[in-house]
Amino acid sequence: MRLPSARSPDPRALCPMILHAVEVGQGPPLVLLHGLFGASRNFGVVQRRLARRWRTIALDLRNHGDSPHDPDMRYPTLAGDVLETLAALDALPCALLGHSMGGKVAMTTALTRPEAVDRLLVSDIAPVAYASHHRGLVEAMLALDLAPGLTRAAADAVLARTVAAPAVRAFLLQNLRLGATPVWRFGLTEIAHALPVAEGWDTPPDAAPYPGPTLFVAGATSDYILPAYRPAIRALFPAARFVTMKGVGHWVHADNPDGFTSIVEAFLAA
């Protein structure tokens, strides 16, 4: 199945929305941003542990989880959503943690509003454009017949024709609401339109380097943060430090929640 052609949002338009938030704990605000096809609940275990010392706020980015849908998924727009929501929650300034696409949102937020971000942690992503990793996943989900009576097992069998990894299929199927009228929880059509934007990167115009404490956490078996990307990272985040977690892939916080939590706690306490 062909993906829908990309739309070109009005470059003058920037309409922030209030995002769905899951808030746990008390203390200084720590905001968690998930990756593409994810949701706030992906941070469940990590969030509960961090909530012992921080006011943790996990957000559903637009077109994900329980947040509204909209075709504009440019990173400045997504960063605007985050800032608008956190202002409404009286949670600024904050420490900001983002994984994958959420990491790009976090970087954009820090570059555009550095005074709003006390500390920045970016999990397994860099400020670069990537070759398409997700087109096949989107095509497989668009091709799934959401007929009444669809079961999770049947949906998994269909996705397995093009998505070989069971863990990836399980991750995607978390977003499928079954029942009399099966439906994807996220805005699949909007994400399909915006996929080139989500996989790309444009440094915000006129943005100065973010001077605050910054940590990039990479999975040792992932190729999202390569040594060749470090000059681009340091140009925008001159205080950046790097940690590589052994034995984990792109979903760092899910592969080793204990190790990831320890790294976050040490960074926030430094």
Task: State residue 19's pLDDT score.
Answer: 98
**Averaged confidence pLDDT in the chain:** 93
Residues 119 and 225 reside in one and the same domain: yes
Range of the domain at 236: 21-132+203-269
Stretch among 19-28, 83-92, 106-115, 168-177 having the lowest mean pLDDT: 168-177
* 8, part of any domain: no
User: What's the whole-number mean pLDDT along residues 56-81?
Assistant: 96
Same domain, 46 and 176: no
Class of residue 129 by CB neighbours under 10 A (exposed 0-12, middle 13-18, buried 19+): exposed
Phi, psi of 264 (to 5 degrees): -60, -45
Q: What is the value of pTM for the model shown?
A: 0.93
Average the pLDDT over 109-120 and give the result. Answer: 98
| Beta strands 214-219; 117-123: pairing state | parallel
58 close to 47: Cβ distance less than 8 angstroms = yes
What DSSP string runs through 108-126?
A: HHHHH-GGGEEEEEEES--
**pLDDT tens by residue, 126-168:** 999 999 888 999 999 999 999 999 999 999 999 999 999 999 9
* Lowest mean per-residue pLDDT among 5-14, 25-34, 138-147, 174-183: 5-14
Give a yes or no: residue 229 inside a domain: yes
Task: Check: CB of residue 91 under 8 Å from CB of residue 27.
Answer: no
Q: Please determine, for residue 124, whether its predicted confidence score (pLDDT) is greater than 60.
A: yes
Shared-domain flag, residues 179 and 207: no
3-class SS at 236?
helix
Tokens of 126: 């860099």
Query: How far apart are the C-alpha atoms of 33 and 100, rounded to whole Å?
Result: 9
Number of domains forming the structure of the chain: 2
Query: Does residue 104 come out as left (phi exceeding 0), alpha (psi in the -120 to 50 range) or beta?
Result: alpha
Are 127 and 161 contained in the same domain? no
16 within domain boundaries: no
CA atoms 125, 112, 25, 215: torsion sign:
positive
| 7 assigned to some structural domain | no
Residue 220 sits in the same domain as residue 257 = yes
Quick: pLDDT tens for 189-244. Answer: 999 999 999 999 999 998 999 999 999 999 999 999 999 999 999 999 999 999 99
